[in-house]
Amino acid sequence: MPRRKHCSLWIQADHFDYLKSGNSGYSCVGSSGGCIELGGSYTSPPSKVDFTLNLAAGNYAISFDYNRQVYGPSGFDLQINGAPVESFAVLAADNIWRTHTEAFTTLGGPVTFSFVTGNLAPNVGTLIDNVTVVPEPVTYALMLAGLGLVGYMARRRKQSAG
């Protein structure tokens, strides 16, 4: 039986690097895999990385980890469907990953999450890792309530037929 995709993801980006954890002194979350550096090594951005998902209507949260690139202070903006949501200044060179979670609601369809930097010098960017989008508990509760109602109706139909 062929597998079907339940979610589609589209990534589009300008001026970024993919860094493997452990290379050049970088340590991504969990010290394995890699992370995205907004800004890139050889350009003077602005830099933008878009993630587009097709989502069902409901309440969701986007969560991600971020850190400063080693050569200088940086910052970035989070946008959802092109609208600014929050700005982040990453000034400390403490190599501590911070986690941010942002709740949002969608009526369904494509939703684009953008990480955007301003004009920074080369090698001065922000590291992004572990980007996830998950339904909020309210969405799960509604889904469970709907399944319960379907089960109740099926049982009631079976009792009236028998």
Note the pLDDT of residue 7.
Answer: 44
Note the pLDDT of residue 37.
Answer: 73
Query: Rounded to a whole number, what is the largest CA-CA distance in the chain?
Result: 75
Q: What is the DSSP letter of 57?
A: S
CA distance 61 to 64: 10
The whole-chain average pLDDT of the chain stands at 74
The predicted model scores a pTM of 0.66
SS3 160: helix
Stretch among 59-63, 78-82, 107-111, 137-141 having the lowest mean pLDDT: 137-141
Note the pLDDT of residue 77.
Answer: 87
85-131, pLDDT tens digit by residue?
Answer: 998 877 666 778 888 899 999 998 999 998 888 655 555 567 777 77
Q: CB neighbours (10 Å) of residue 100? A: 12
Note the pLDDT of residue 39.
Answer: 66
Q: What is the DSSP letter of 143?
A: H
For residue 122, give Cα distances in angstroms to 36, 47, 73, 136.
15, 11, 12, 38
Question: Which of 52, 47, 54, 53 minimizes the C-alpha distance to 121?
Answer: 47
Q: Is pLDDT above 80 for 51? A: yes
Helix (H) or strand (E) holding 13: strand 9-14
Mean pLDDT along residues 25-33:
69
Residues in Cβ contact with 122 at an 8 Å cutoff, skipping those fewer than 6 apart: 39, 40, 41, 42, 43, 44
Homologous superfamily in CATH for domain 9-136 = Galactose-binding domain-like (2.60.120.260)
Note the pLDDT of residue 160.
Answer: 77
Q: In what order do the strands lie in the sheet with 34-38?
A: 16-20, 34-38, 126-135, 58-68, 98-106
